[in-house]
Structure 1
Amino acid sequence: TCQVHFESSNWKSLSIKRLTDSRLHGSTGLRSGSQANFFPPLEDAMLPSGSFNNRMALITGGGTGLGRAMTATLSQLGAQCIIASRKLDVLQRTAEEISSQTGNKVHAVQCDVRDPQAVSQCVDQIEALTGLPDVIINNAAGNFVCPSERLSPNAWKTITDIVLNGTAFVTLELGKRLIQNQKGASFLAITTIYAESGSGFVVPSASAKAGVEALYKSLAAEWGRYGHRFNIIQPGPIRTKGAFSRLDPTGAFEKAMIDRIPTGRLGTPAEIANLAAYVSSNYASWMSGAVIRFDGGEYVSLAGEFNELRSVTPDQWKLLEAMIRKTKGS
């Protein structure tokens, strides 16, 4: 049965037998995930070739997942890219693969963003290789699901050190040097939709990502005078090997994720890469302090109190409307 409750002093709770006619579901677009046919991902680079010619881009966490996808797109569009993370062997493989595909040099630089001294040394190396970057994408992150009562201080510190402190150390170190050299730049942070709402079971990540958003909005106001702009992308669920192995290790929650996304599918790394490239490009030079939700409608789907009424069939609505019309009073 499908329980539909109307919280009103004059409306009774209604219990309706769910109709199971598959033809009805198919003809009205109610079959789970079928709406994805209306929203196919376009994964080719959307900006004109050469949009990042003569520009340098630093991408933290650029060796895998979303970072790799953003690096590939920026390199394809002409950028000279620097990718940074702790695992130099992974970075070097990615750099070689992308360089061979795009013909543009990708540099691999080892850096533990949790360590401010390591960040300073990394920026020294970047300056020697390419000069200070024009585009900085803070993508390095860490996350795992865990009941908050089971969190250790070390688990909390591990995530907040990477996400919040790491972003701050990279941003402040580069920002200070850019200001000293009177050079403008575009800064972009990759956060998540629950940075805005909060979320159980990923509390360190939610807290740290919220801090990153406050940092970037604050600097957008303060450092525009130096030619710096700061923007934020909040991705919804995008399948990457690293993230899903820690957030959905059994694969049990993927269908539930898709069911609650109005566009009926997960995002793709190439889609986020296209958005990141636009936000970081000169086509978006008037954009600063923006928070862009990119989630197929998941956030608003979860937020609306009555959104579960999507599961009510046309025949059930006829029954509901007939019952509502009989209700007397205000």
Structure 2
Amino acid sequence: MQVYASASPRLSAQSHRCSRRAAVVAQCRLTNRLGVPADAPPVSERVESPSWRVGAAGALSALAVLGGAAVAPGSALAATPGLDSSTYFFDSGRLLSADKREKLNSELSEFSKRTGWNLRIYTAYGPGTTPPEDDLRAAWGPLGKNSVVVGYDATAPSLINVPYLGDDALATLKRPWWGEFKGRFGNLFYVREQGEQTAISVSTQVLMECLGKPGGCLVVPGVPDEQYYFTLITSVAGGLVAGFVAKLEPQGFVQSRWVWVLLFSPVWGSLYINFGLGPIVSRTEDKLPILQNTLGFAVGAAAPYLVQVLRAPPVKEDQQ
């Protein structure tokens, strides 16, 4: 009895230690299967760790940002209401009426799909109404070589501004073209005479016309009134020079009057051809201005003969 009594506590203690070892081995096997180090702290301690909380919060934030970008690409970063990738004309300054705004936006969208040019236009009425540059790039980006962004600010000295001009657009329309484009449709006198809506509509149509041509445009199409009057005056001046030169008497090596006309041809030719017909032929296909300037040159050339015919004959002494 004493032997069995002394052996019972030993067996119970040894079996308890074996059960603890078996539990530890089972726990190690389970953690190794899950990919957690065997010496890692318990789950309850890992949950309470501040570093684990920070990592979980960062992962959730990254998932939220990626999920938002996947839902709305290109427009999720634009904070300006109504400005997204489908907006080609953003009337932030409210310079056009609703119907004209929608019409111009559809025309720009169709032009972009047909030609491949990323032409975007916005308006403003003062510094507070100008869309932020980051919002424009987020909504209309990426702005590459075929991108053009034109801004119209009704309070600026020049109505037209080109904040972004791609390399392909600059190769198609040279810098002198852009200078003439802004000077013609953006100057204060043109805007005051034609109005802001007309200036925006006409200049946008001209821009789409020149970008749509394979070789672009050397000059801005259309002849304004002040430029046409200048060509008419130079045409008449060229005719006057040719007419007065043709009345010179032959002298020296000049044996005929037509030689005088030939010698002075660089003068009257430049006035009539270069300054009278050149700006019109290069900017419009209308034949009426050409006919008018040609008639002006003919009247100028005939003016010396008309003065001689209409001049009163001299009074003879016997008639006094």
Instruction: Assess same fold via TM > 0.5.
Output: no
Return the structure number with greater helix share. 2
TM-score normalised over the length of structure 1: 0.30
Which structure has the larger Rg over C-alpha atoms? 2
Q: Which has the higher contact order (CA 8 A, sep 6+)?
A: 1
TM-score (norm 2): 0.30
